[in-house]
Chains A and B, each alone.
Chain A
Amino acid sequence: MRKLFYLILLVFLASNLFAQNKLSKLHSKQNLDCSTCHECEVPTKTNPCLALCPRDKGKGTTHKVEDAPKVLEINKIKGEKDLYGAVNFSHKIHAEMSEMANGCVTCHHYNPPGKMVSCDFCHNTERSESKANIPDLKSAYHRQCMGCHTTWEEESRCENCHALNDEHKSTSTTSEIVKVHDSVTRPQTKVYETPNTNKGKVVTFHHNDHIELFGLECVDCHKDESCQSCHNQKPNFKKAENKVQHSSCNTCHETEDEKQCAKCHQESETKAFNHFAKTGFDLNKYHSKNTCSSCHKTKGSYTGLNSQCKNCHTWNNENFKHSITGLELNEEHSELDCTDCHENNNYKKPTCTSCHDESEGFIVPKKLPGKRIK
């Protein structure tokens, strides 16, 4: 009898343990806060008290855009008349645009652990069967799209996204899907007039430099953007006025410091930043891909650095390949120490006289210690 009791107890414990393991596999291994999905403190299997529409905080796990297909075919709802075919949703483009605003959670507001759930995980395809607090799938889709699309489209025509099925196609051309415009042009330089400041009246913004030279990503500045800041096709829709632009600059520039105003606000247009003209150190040859902070380590301070190579590069005889300078040393010279030719830490121009007699014509660049390869 006692044996039987122990056996039952063992089975019970084992099953308990197993159940816990199964749960942990899904939940606790994920680095998640319980309140991410559950509203009560102790969720149970029968009452998981899942949060309703957990939109506000962007809850859940994140996924990469690259993992998703470029274009998604949406074809889950069939209307009574079957007017429209599938919607080809350019997921990648929208994902990239969303980076400038709220990111993926703009649409993917509920991401339980594991694989990305599709919308019909919660949103019922049948309107008559859906609950009052969860919109049906058709509404959910349209609300995601129309929130932005109505802000900039001249007319929210269904055919902008939905291609009509063949039997409903009219002969007129209006029912064709509006094609996305050609590639977006990036402004080079923008000049802003700031007449209301008592500082300089003109701010020249070298857009191109900020990307090419300073290595900024689009989203570094273009965050919290609304759709119509780019998509502004309504003629009578007032374009957002050039308000104080500091919010897009002050992550890098000290806009609060009065002494710094003149850095941007000047009396006339300024030329683009040129490292060589300003410091004498040409970046275009080898350092063009570096970000500012890779050399200027102290944040906000761009004062002169020691321009000697060794200041940054830990090169020595063994690991330095001279060929990257465009000159491959011949056998005799490759044996030498760097300092044998480059005296006084001057790596620009070598001296040959310590070994060679100048009268014999060993003057750089007439005679080279190797072969020029670039």
Chain B
Amino acid sequence: MSQNRRDFLKTFAAIGTTAATLTAVTPNIAKGSSRRELSIDRKGVLVDTTVCIGCGKCEWACKTAHNMEAGNFDDYSSQLTDGSQRRPSENALTVVNQIDTSIMNSDKVKLQCMHCDHPACESACIVSAITKQENGAVTWDTDKCIGCRYCMVACPFQIPAFEYQKALDPKIVKCDFCYDRTKEGKLPACVEICPVGALTYGTREELLIEAKRRISKDPDKYFDHVFGEYEVGGTSWLYLAENNLVNKVFPKLGTNTAPGVSESIQHGLFAYFVPPVALYALLGGVMWLSKNKDKNEGGH
């Protein structure tokens, strides 16, 4: 019996060694990358906060396009002046806040899902309900969603919201980049309604060129940074502002993809099943040794 176990463990150790060698030899797969290649023509929106007047029409249009209770068209601009920093929620997929409420007429910033190039939510979703679409939108399949809310925890921008108020069939909600509208060739509802054109819809590539053109043309007007170009591996929504938005509007985020960290740990942990096997092997070895010890002691 003990002989059998020894054989068993030997075999296992051999497999483990082979697997470990294999891991070392196999080229490193880009960590946290989506399974699909990102399309060069993926769309984005350039938000020029210096242009935004805070009318809140985008909020109204968003609700209307998503069949949500929208209320009065004219009541939106007054929400800015109460000084609160609102967050996108299950009742409002996008919100506009005044960045610095202590200064009258300071810049306004629109918040919604950033539609990351490497979405942490997609990576975190255990049922693969969330998808990064070819056009850049990060969408989700309500039928697949089991309501685990992992995406809410994973999102570096704290965007996905959950319908906590609904007792029956609560759902995850967030900005879907007007996926249904853009499929038909329409602009996203917010982009379409913006009276001052603070939002520009286009391919991410062309928007980055345009953003940099604006900065170089007006270096006094803009803070020299396009937020979203590299943050968490790049986002579809890009921001231009007079001042640095980091720590004021957005958290300080590195340029590594958000799922990069978690996936490298997870994938590393379970890569080719080596670490678990190694762990069990170690434990098995300890057990075996101690058992042998017991036997020897018992023999005396």
- Chain A contacts to B: CB under 8 angstroms: 127-128, 132-133, 135-136, 138-140, 142-143, 146, 150-151, 155-158, 234, 236-238
Contacts and interface: CB of A to CB of B under 8 A. Distances in A.
A236 B104 contact: yes
A132 B210 contact: yes
B105 to A, nearest CB: 6
A61 B120 CA distance: 54
Contacts of A142: 53, 195-197
Contact of B187 (A128, A132, A133, A143): A128
Contacts, number: 49
Contacts of B51: 143
24 contacts: A127-B187, A127-B197, A128-B185, A132-B46, A132-B202, A132-B206, A132-B207, A133-B210, A135-B197, A138-B197, A139-B196, A140-B197, A142-B53, A142-B195, A143-B196, A143-B197, A146-B196, A150-B105, A151-B105, A155-B78, A156-B55, A157-B74, A158-B74, A238-B104
Nearest to B198: A139
Interface of B: 46, 51, 53, 55, 74, 77-78, 104-105, 185-187, 191-192, 194-197, 200, 202, 206-207, 209-210, 213
Which of B51, B186, B207, B209 is most buried by chain A, counting CB atoms within 10 A of its CB? Answer: B51
Contacts of A146: 53, 195-196
B53 to A, nearest CB: 5
Contacts of B213: 133
A140 to B, nearest CB: 8
B192 A127 contact: yes
Contacts of A128: 185-187
A139 B197 contact: yes
A315 to B, nearest CB: 59
A143 B200 CA distance: 14
A159 to B, nearest CB: 8
Nearest to A146: B53
Nearest to B187: A128
Given A128-B186, A142-B196, 9 more contacts: A132-B46, A133-B213, A139-B194, A139-B197, A142-B53, A142-B195, A142-B197, A146-B196, A158-B74
Contacts of B187: 127-128
Nearest to A143: B196
A178 B219 CA distance: 37
A138 B55 CA distance: 15
Contact of A156 (B77, B186, B209): B77
Nearest to A135: B197
